[in-house]
Amino acid sequence: MTVDRDQVLRTAAALLTRKATATMDEVARAAGIGRATLHRHFAGREALVRALEELGIRELEGALDKARLDEGDASDALRRMVAEVEPVAGLLAFLVTENQLFEGEQMNAGWARIDARVSVLFKRGQERGEFRIDLTPAWLTEALYGLIGAGAWAVQDGRVAAKDFQYMIAELLLGGVRRSVEK
């Protein structure tokens, strides 16, 4: 009887990932609950998005944990990261564009933590001599988000195959499009 708050959140995430402008009513129906009940658990769309942000941050940090970014080759760590992040890619894309809208307000501290961890990976790769040093970790982090978002949308719209998601992103980011001598 009692609503499973986490289940509602995940349903909302799945819906908003597909249709970012879905109304509270649509979210409620998708979750199989009444609009009033949705409001009882999340005081308004704002609060819902914030809760989704918390969820996304939590899952992302979990993914980064599992990826063990500080172990072994930076390249392998990057591949592990992309693999672990894949299930959250759609939600990540939604939250990134959502954050893009609310320019003024300060962002959730979780994003800073995540940015820092990803940045550190790129820096580690540079210090190990694995990664080139003419591209800043900050840009590489942004680029990673951009590629993940592009990949998630491309998969969603059927422009690329879901099974290629990890490979496409990780290998493009690692090696670029140019044919390289090492391979």
Partner DNA sequence: CCCGAGTGAGACGTTTGTGTCTCACTCGGG
Partner DNA sequence: CCCGAGTGAGACACAAACGTCTCACTCGGG
Q: 3, 119, 109, 100: which is closest to 54 by C-alpha? A: 109
State the minimum distance, in angstroms, from the CB of residue 164 to a second copy: 7
Q: What are phi and psi of 4, to 5 degrees?
A: -85, 100
Task: Give the span between the Cα atoms of 60 and 85, in whole angstroms.
Answer: 7
Which one-letter DSSP state was computed for residue 57? Answer: H
List CB contacts of 16: < 8 A, sequence separation 6 or more: 22, 27, 52, 94
Among 40, 128, 132, 159, binds DNA (CB under 7 A): 40
Q: Is 23 in the site for DNA (CB under 7 A)?
A: yes
Task: Give the span between the Cα atoms of 143 and 131, in whole angstroms.
Answer: 15
Any long-range contacts for 104-107 (C-beta under 8 Å, 24+ apart)? Answer: none
Pick what 19 binds: DNA, a second copy, none; C-beta below 5 to 8 Å, kind-dependent.
a second copy
Q: Is 46 in the site for DNA (CB under 7 A)?
A: yes
State the minimum distance, in angstroms, from the CB of residue 23 to DNA: 3
Q: Is 20 in the site for a second copy (CB under 8 A)?
A: yes
Task: Give the span between the Cα atoms of 131 and 121, in whole angstroms.
Answer: 10
Torsion of CA 78, 83, 89, 92, to 10 degrees: -40
State the minimum distance, in angstroms, from the CB of residue 9 to DNA: 13
Q: Is 101 in the site for DNA (CB under 7 A)?
A: no
- Residues in 89-148 that interact with a second copy by CB under 8 A: 97, 100-101, 103, 122, 125, 129-132, 134-136, 138-140, 142-143, 145-147
Task: Give the span between the Cα atoms of 181 and 158, in whole angstroms.
Answer: 32
Pick what 64 binds: DNA, a second copy, none; C-beta below 5 to 8 Å, kind-dependent.
none
Binding part of the chain for DNA, among 25-33, 54-62, 145-153, 173-181 by CB under 7 A, reads 25-33
Which residues make up the interface to a second copy (CB under 8 A)? 18-21, 75, 78, 97, 100-101, 103, 122, 125, 129-132, 134-136, 138-140, 142-143, 145-147, 149-151, 153-154, 157, 159-160, 164, 167-168, 171-182
Which residues make up the interface to DNA (CB under 7 A)? 1-3, 23-25, 32-37, 39-41, 43-46
